Amino acid sequence: MRGKTWELDENKAEQIRIYLLENGGKEQEVKNPYEVWRIRFSDSTFTYYMSGKLHSTPSNSRDPAVFNAWDYIDSIAGTKYIPPTKDFLIGLDETGKGEVIGHTVLTSVIFPKEIFKVVNDKVGSADTKRRRTFEYWDEIFRELDSLTSFGFDFIYEKIPPWHVDKYNLNKIMDVVYQRILSSFFRKVEISKCRIVLDDYGVGDTLSRFLDFLEKQGAEVIVTNNSEDFYLEARVASLISKRIREEVIKRINENPNFHIDGTSVGSGNAGDPKTVEWLRKWHASGKEWPWFVKRSFKTVREVEGMSTQLKKETPPIKEDLMSKEFMNEFNEGHLSITSLSVVCPHCGEILKGVTFAITNGDSTIKCPECENFIRDAGMTLRYYCGYLVPDSSIIQRGLISKDLERSRVFEGFTIVIVPVVRKECDETPSGRREFDKLAHFGEIGRMRLEAHGSVRDVPNGLSNVERDEIIVDSVIELNGILLTADKGMRAYAIGRDVFTIFI
């Protein structure tokens, strides 16, 4: 449980002081010159500061009297955030864009207006601009995650350091945010949503999409410092912070990334501990670990480089996607059954492509003309995001082999459905691949998710029944099927599911 903070003038603060004392509060001695008054009320301490802030510590006993006091103060102070203007509130924000260590994390949240106050209470006075422990952010996250049964949901995406180093981020962010919004619109009507986006320099493509949403009746707000005014943006920022801090915590705890007794610290270029770690690591002669953004000025200065690296436009090729898919995507509909890839060599519209290895590098190939389709992997990764492998892929260890080489599947969310989990957990090769994928997930090469429960999988399934269950899951998840089974490939394509065949 979290405390709460309000901004109040002296008159309102005095009104609240009288309320607390009349309802059993005990005035205490102030502890520093910045405090105006301090009152112990049940197991919470209310402190009013010269800055105009009133802070209440949490009530660990969850005393209703404290909650009533909070409601009373809310009624006087008003909410910090702009109240709901639509039935559903969507907030989009990111963290890690300016940090020298780790991923950039994009998060979008959605929740109905009916739980606005509950969400506000759980967020409390949390400030993403202040440095906190991972446990602090995790506690907030768990409080928010407990609201899923009341309509609270979120989706996040990690942009890895090596993409940050090579590419201008804005186009990637535009595509990812559009995909996330389209996923939400499978559940709620566009016209019932308020959408708040922190302005990072939104590009033309996403701007057109947001204009379309407005014409459909959505309220769209793109603004700087959005988390200071909109609760939905603040919540998105908090979840992004927690996801990023989890990775930073693992890096700090890993002895392989310690040098002369120093760990990476917060990962912020302004953190002396982080700068010290960068200098010591570079002086050791070791290659930079995967999580260091080598293009950043701080790293370049440690290396003795005076020039900035020129970044490229990310090769996310809209013209590789079929017109049907792009038309639906630009109208807020993300559907795997509309996805096709257009071969730039023969012009064939493909419901499936082939994974190929040439000269030790893995790539995507057209099954019709057998030419390589350059940039198809990255385009599919950001427009779709989800891969669903069947057992033929897991048993052969094909995803981990790719991630060890040229990484076509890098950055995707790999979803293991129950049928596949049940079949592969029973074999040594399957368990080995799951362990390898878990490792790649921990270091941020990809994301690993389990979907559904193994207990729900019937025994004695035929191959046809098994394939049908997997493809149904692919459609539900809006993922791309990954298979090495010709029969599965034919069945999936027959149901309009886009497939990568190995």
pLDDT of residue 360: 66
Count of CA atoms in the C-beta half-sphere (13 A) of 140: 28
CATH 3.30.420.10 domain residues, the chain: 81-314
Q: For residue 382, give the nearest of 189, 206, 190 by alpha carbon.
A: 206
DSSP tag of 458: P
The more confidently predicted of residues 456 and 358 is 456
Residue 332, both tokens: 């807020």
Q: What is the mean pLDDT of residues 361-382?
A: 90
In angstroms, the CA 74 to CA 76 distance is 5
Indicate the fold that domain 318-501 takes in CATH.
Rossmann fold (3.40.50)
φ/ψ bin of 407: left (φ > 0), alpha (ψ from -120 to 50), beta (otherwise): left
CB 410 within 8 A of CB 400: no
Q: Could you tell me what percent of the chain has a pLDDT over 70?
A: 98
- Which of 52-56, 123-127, 352-356 bottoms out in mean pLDDT, i.e. has the lowest? 123-127
pLDDT of residue 357: 74
Strands 104-112 and 44-49: unpaired
Confidence of residue 145 (pLDDT cuts 50, 70, 90): very high
Report pLDDT digits (tens) over 187-245: 899 999 999 998 898 998 899 999 999 999 999 999 988 988 899 999 999 999 999 99
CB 354 within 8 A of CB 366: yes
Q: Which CATH class is domain 4-77?
A: alpha beta
Report pLDDT digits (tens) over 409-428: 888 999 999 999 999 998 99
Confidence of residue 127 (pLDDT cuts 50, 70, 90): low
Q: What is the mean pLDDT of residues 96-122?
A: 93
Q: For residue 369, give the nearest of 350, 346, 352, 353 by alpha carbon.
A: 346
Residue 201, both tokens: 């320099």
Report pLDDT digits (tens) over 54-71: 999 988 888 999 989 988
Superfamily of domain covering 81-314: Ribonuclease H-like superfamily/Ribonuclease H (3.30.420.10)
In angstroms, the CA 384 to CA 84 distance is 31
Strands, DSSP E only, in 214-267? 219-223
Determine the Cα angle at 229 with ends 225 and 230, to 5°. Answer: 100
pLDDT of residue 336: 84
CATH 3.30.310.10 domain residues, the chain: 4-77
What one-character-per-residue DSSP string does 274-331 give? HHHHHHHHHHTTPPPPTTB-TTSHHHHHHTT--SPPPPBPP---GGGB-HHHHHHHTT
Report pLDDT digits (tens) over 70-96: 889 988 887 678 999 999 999 999 999
* Report field, pTM of the whole predicted structure over 0.85: no
Report pLDDT digits (tens) over 167-202: 989 999 999 999 999 999 988 999 999 999 988 989
CB 434 within 8 A of CB 472: no
Confidence of residue 408 (pLDDT cuts 50, 70, 90): confident
